[in-house]
């Protein structure tokens, strides 16, 4: 239901350094898992960076982005960000809940899409099952993790984080360098959180 009809696979890789980095081919998205309790100062600095990278409204409109307003939904938001920005590479099942949601929200703002996600009972059913077991779920006394998505839209590397107000444009990229380019941004998060080592990344590739 909440899927395309094509076979895809997830490839895990490290982001701590460039040494020993295994090439990842045919990737359409990179998703980084980071500790949920990132230093607020880090996020504020990143938001300031985002403001300095603002492009024209036309550029922003090419990217499908929505805010995360539902608790423990970073995986669902990450899936929507990944698929919505790669629709030209996917074939959907005829009864796909995901396809219908994206069609219904294509011309909405990030805030409107968030409200639509809040009210979508079909996606909630899938999300509830995933959140009960997923890494976004925060157990008592334990720290949860947050998912950030990177995609290549129009030859530009975009960072999509539902906690932020806008998508972040990190500059030019291409199909061959996309994973390496996204990994460099992931390593910047690791460097900013000097005492934190619980970062990981996964690339979504054609099987």
* Residues acting as catalytic residues: 74, 146
- Angle at which helix 121-131 crosses helix 74-84, to 10 degrees, equals 120
What is the C-alpha to C-alpha distance for residues 35 and 37, in angstroms, rounded to an integer?
Answer: 6
Strand order in the sheet with 8-13: 8-13, 200-206, 27-35, 145-153, 156-160, 168-172
Quickly count helices (H) and strands (E) in the chain.
7, 6
Strand, coil or helix: 150: strand
């Amino acid at each position: 239901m909440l899927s395309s009809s094509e076979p895809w696979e997830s490839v895990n890789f490290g982001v701590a350094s460039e040494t020993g980095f295994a090439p990842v081919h045919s990737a359409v998205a990179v998703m980084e898992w980071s500790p949920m309790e990132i230093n607020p100062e880090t996020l504020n600095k990143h938001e300031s960076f985002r403001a300095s990278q603002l492009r024209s409204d036309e550029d922003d409109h090419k990217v499908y982005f929505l805010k995360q307003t539902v608790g423990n939904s970073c995986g669902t938001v990450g899936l929507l960000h990944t698929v919505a920005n790669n629709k030209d590479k996917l074939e959907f099942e005829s009864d796909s809940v995901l396809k219908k949601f994206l069609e219904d929200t294509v011309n909405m703002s990030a805030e409107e899409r968030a409200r639509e996600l809040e009210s979508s009972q079909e996606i909630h059913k899938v999300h509830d099952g995933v959140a009960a077991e997923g890494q976004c779920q925060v157990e008592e006394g334990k720290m949860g993790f947050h998912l950030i998505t990177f995609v290549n839209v129009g030859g530009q590397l975009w960072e999509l984080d539902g906690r932020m107000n806008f998508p972040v444009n990190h500059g030019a990229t291409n199909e061959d360098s996309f994973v390496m380019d996204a990994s460099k941004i992931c390593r910047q998060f690791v460097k900013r959180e000097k005492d934190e080592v619980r970062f990981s990344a996964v690339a979504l590739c054609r099987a």
